[in-house]
Amino acid sequence: MIKKLSVILVLIVLSNNYGQNMTQPPVAKIIPKTLSKHGHDRVDNYYWLNERENPEVIKYLEDENAWMKQQMAHTEGLQEKLYTEITGKIKQQDESVPYKENGYYYYSRYETGKEYPVYCRKKGSLDAAEEILLDVNEMAKGYSFINVAGLNVSPDNNILAYGVDTLSRRIYDIYFKDLRTGKILDYKITNCTGGSVWGNDSKTVFFTTKDNTLRAYRIHRFQIEDGKSDLVYEETDPTFTTYVFNTKSKKYIIIGSSQTLSNEYRYIDADNPRGEFTLFMPRKRDLEYSVDHFRNDFYIVTNYNAKNFRLMKTPVSKTGIENWTEVIPHRENVLLQGMEIFEKYLVLSEVDMGLIKMRIIEWNTQKEHYIDFGEETYSAYLSINPDFDTDVLRYVYTSLTTPGSTYDYNMSTREKKLLKRTEIVGGYNPEDYVSKRLYATARDGKKVPVSLVYRKGLQLNGDNPLLLYGYGSYGASMFPGFSAANISLLDRGFVYAIAHIRGGQELGRGWYEDGKLLNKKNTFNDFIDCAEVLIKEKYTNQNKLFAYGGSAGGLLMGAIINMRPDLFKGVIAAVPFVDVVTTMLDESIPLTTAEYDEWGNPNEKVYYDYMLSYSPYDQVEKKAYPAMLVTTGLHDSQVQYWEPAKWVAKLRAVKTDNNPLYLSTNMDAGHGGASGRFRYFKEIALRFAFMLDLLGMKE
């Protein structure tokens, strides 16, 4: 954090009373700072906004909030109506599907009118007495933000470890609760990722700490008996992060080190948690793999000579790559995403033509089949499956028209049992809506999938409002799922669409690689080309088309408005990563060094030049832009608040239009927004009201 006395003095001298006259939006002071690299100078007039503790910075953010509130005041009734409408669809008193592990059934539940979950268990039977592990509502008292994560019960069922973040920086303290007495132990571990792993002795706990850039870099071993800990592993390569986990068998504890293009693992027998870790195999550039254990072998999902990954195995005693043997071969058009191992079955999660498929293979006979999901566009993923010796697979299914549904699937009889479907209070009929998939032809001929949903009977005459969502980074696939909040848009005549653009992995590993590094502009071009196809196919028009993306999807928003500002009526950019070059040159900022293989290292001129050519902040020009709502959190650990703040300040100074431009900063939250079950929907209601207001819709 920059704290130069000279800068502070300049700020005091130039100080304006922001917010005193709200007939005009706040104007951030210009304090030029020259940033030089590769013989090239950039002048950043708003660099000073990165001083989080500077009162002038806080005042500016608060006045931007005040300006937005004033300008959106006439929509407050609409926002409240939307909020009530959205939260009214949520079942107040609700409970998750219990799962059984180590003799107990575990579940969480919500109580009417409360923001946070209550974590519970029952011993042996669902008819047994309830034992409350944690009531987060009680824990939240006195805090404006709280997140509880990493709940992990010791193998003897007596001690609960859990992480607590009350700042929204994703920095957790780990606490321990004796479940026999209800007492919180005196030990507290600070500066952690929140997760933990128990040794089988129920006395040893492994946890991960962060460095000053919030990179997870050390694994420690903690002894419950005396509260002492020792360092067992430190990741010294700043491009890697480290973590620790149990194999499904609970036989091994594994330390992983990962960066974008490679992985490395170390393992220890969980029965001997005070022993020394054994290196699985030395890291190798461009070799990615994950590890689990079954019987006498480690099973490995890897890209070794397999762009879309394949499944291999190796004896526990011989983990070098020369001993790996193939179980499931590579396929050119199908991405192997993951696996779940059972005593009699192997379950593979695959991505084929943008859809998740679950492939069931019987070990003994090698007979196989796929689960039939029955819809054109959907999402499905493996749920909690702790047991090896069972014929039942638990998975979750959802689509643009089907609320989240938890199933037990008998892999022998192929029977599905619906355990729970998220209830939409007030009634919801999926038959009232249409979901479909189309393919937009990008400018280079690639076919980009687009998932769509709208209310049945809607006339596709080119006059409908449409919200187009995109992400397109890190190989994250944006599979379509149900949103109860989106019903409020669909019932007002909106079409909702997801552009499955390059940078994700919906069409395999090549789809990701074609949207990163020096191919990053394909991501932006794809989104624009999808928008144009939606207009051409009469789903919407340029005066009713909206775009939305967050984080790296916020970078997407920033790029498309520079490239095609005429194409969109309004754009919503949440926690947007928009100052690409400056951030990627600053190794003190969280995530920078770990992401060189995603964006490139601008210390190399070829990447500097390419990043500069699309970086939204650097490419802002004197021209008309669409209406914009930009959101951030003061404590954001992923994308620092000053990126959107500087971006909005620069846009205000140079844009030639009179369209609304709002910056909304949550002064209590970070990257994920407000904590709690319902508070988050205030932010969604604001987004929806922003769009409806631009359309002149008051209801």
> Which residues participate in catalysis according to the annotation?
551, 636, 671
Total residues found in the chain within this entry? 699
> For the chain, what is the radius of gyration of the CA atoms?
26
**Whole-number Å distance between alpha carbons of 42 and 33:** 8
**Whole-number Å distance between alpha carbons of 584 and 643:** 12
Query: Which residues are within 8 A (CB) of 680 and not within 5 positions of it... i.e. 6 or more apart?
Result: 673, 674
Residue for token pair 């050390």: 218
Is the CB of residue 199 less than 8 Å from the CB of residue 253? yes
Identify the helix (H) or strand (E) that includes residue 644. helix 642-654
Annotate 304-317 with b (16+ C-beta within 10 A) or e (fewer).
bebebbbbbbbeee
Coil, helix or strand for 611? helix
Q: In degrees, to the nearest 5, what angle opens at C-alpha 199 toward C-alphas 194 and 201?
A: 135
Both tokens assigned to 303 = 């890209």
Is the CB of residue 66 less than 8 Å from the CB of residue 25? no
Is the CB of residue 319 less than 8 Å from the CB of residue 299? no
User: Phi/psi at 247 (nearest 5 deg)?
Assistant: -70, 160
Residue 21 CB-half CA count within 13 A: 5
**Whole-number Å distance between alpha carbons of 592 and 674:** 25
**Whole-number Å distance between alpha carbons of 479 and 482:** 10
**Whole-number Å distance between alpha carbons of 117 and 108:** 6
The sign of the CA dihedral 124, 129, 132, 137 is positive
Both tokens assigned to 96 = 């998750």
Both tokens assigned to 209 = 């700490």
> Where would I find the H helices in 197-263?
none
